[in-house]
Structure 1
């Protein structure tokens, strides 16, 4: 199966008060995925084109969060797994094999929601459930750490090193407070910031590993910048991400040099100078 859609995915959660014991240490909360109530599911969705001899091409379609801010967890999960079954995209995550996807599956099981497409797609050797099938589910944290052979890094560490904004609009430790005060839109915006970083990191990893070439990498970055610029008026946090990205002082260009000049339009090409 050749995937035609890419989802860079992240979720935000809060403790499920019905499951977490009152005296449970807060620093051990993340150890049990089923104790997490999902409050936001965000993706950068991109098309995947396979160009013979040149590798893959990714074009950003949108950055969005599932459903609406007022939806409860059951409705969010139903919509997520329904859309997943329709598209069967390649999933890109950061620590997603350990946290995001187990949480989405376990909480779906709790509500009696089917995630059949996750388990039934692929074959004996390749599929979403196979740890090393990065063409199905690429846990970028695991890939960069050689599945534990090297030190696992936080996405913030790698994003900042690459000149990306990193965390915007808060921190994961602040999500519960946002939810408590009813500011679900802030949670969704924060989650979208993470998947924007994740898409840019995946494009650079795809270049590193030969999945794409320099032209494909730059086209992916330009498509992300164009998406952010087009969404600025209605969704200011996306424009703010773009501004911080373009003004980064880090000596890590958004675009990589090509054998022949070209690829203009988003303004990011300025980062290759000097």
Structure 2
């Protein structure tokens, strides 16, 4: 029986204080920090986490995937440290295979650097399942998987969803809007956006399992229908 899977995604904003420390500026020099970064998308350590959304699914007796729960932890209610602790607790309790889209390049490094900033220990992420190992079987990064680990083949989440004919990102939303929403305090909207990316990633995971003959057409449809039922059931779960 396959292990449970935990599909997750992070939303972040630029940590101006981190940029300032890295470049020996005053930590309150937001203008200077923004000038250094410019229009570039900075590496993970420069990002502060404002949301983590996750979906837990298990392989059931009908040989289909069944969503157990969806959870969203965001900065509207929790501190960054509490978001991380909540996520670590969920991972530790379920012992899953992690499923992400671009998680190897961004989400996991961001989680690790922010946890170290807050002096948090990621016992299950490192010692137990070793999700950070380059060839770990406990983490499936669909972006890398679909690109056959060739950077030239990588496409964005919403692109691959549209290409494959599955529902993708929340309409009218993209990562560039997260900073403005955070500045206005609308973390619930960020949570919905993040949860939407998780659902899209799970839909891609199901197609991957079908392609590899691990889901029959009937089991694929049952898994897909189960997702939609779970999304309706769990609307508002967690902190979103």
Q: Is the 8 A contact 2:74 2:188 kept in 1?
A: no
Is 1:207–2:210 an aligned residue pair?
A: yes
Partner of 1:44: 55
Q: CA deviation at 1:164?
A: 2.5
In structure 2, C-alpha distance between the alignment counterparts of 1:163 and 1:71, rounded to whole Å: 35
CA deviation after TM superposition for structure 1 residue 79, in Å: 1.5
Please list the CA deviations of residues 15-41 of structure 1 after superposition, one character each: whole Å capped at 9, or x if unmatched. 1121124122333333x2111100000
Task: Say if 2:51 and 2:75, in contact at 8 Å, map to a contact too.
Answer: no
Unaligned 5+ runs, structure 2: 21-32
Over 3 Å counting, the alpha-carbon distance change for 1:29 and 1:118 in structure 2 is same
Distance in 2 (CA, whole Å) between partners of 1:36 and 1:77 is: 14
- For 1:25, the equivalent position in structure 2 comes to 37
Is residue 11–residue 38 contact of structure 1 (8 Å, CA) maintained in 2? yes
* SS of corresponding position for 1:80: helix
CA distance in 1, matches of 2:112, 2:234: 31
Supply the distance in 2 between the matched residues of 1:231 and 1:77 (Cα, whole angstroms): 21
Question: In the alignment, which of 45, 65, 68 is matched to residue 61 of structure 1?
Answer: 68
Separation in 1 of the partners of 2:38 and 2:103?
Answer: 21
- The higher relative CO (CA closer than 8 Å, separation ≥ 6) is in 2
Q: Distance in 2 between matches of 1:197 and 1:77?
A: 22
Count of equivalent residues? 223
Q: 1:35 to 1:163 in 2, by over 3 A?
A: same
Q: Deviations over 1:66-117 (max 9, x none)?
A: 2673211011111111221121211110110010001101110111111011
Question: Is 1:10 the equivalent of 2:17?
Answer: no
Moved over 6 A (4+): none
Kindly report the root-mean-square deviation, in angstroms, between the aligned alpha carbons of the 2 structures: 2.2
CA distance in 2, matches of 1:162, 1:180: 34
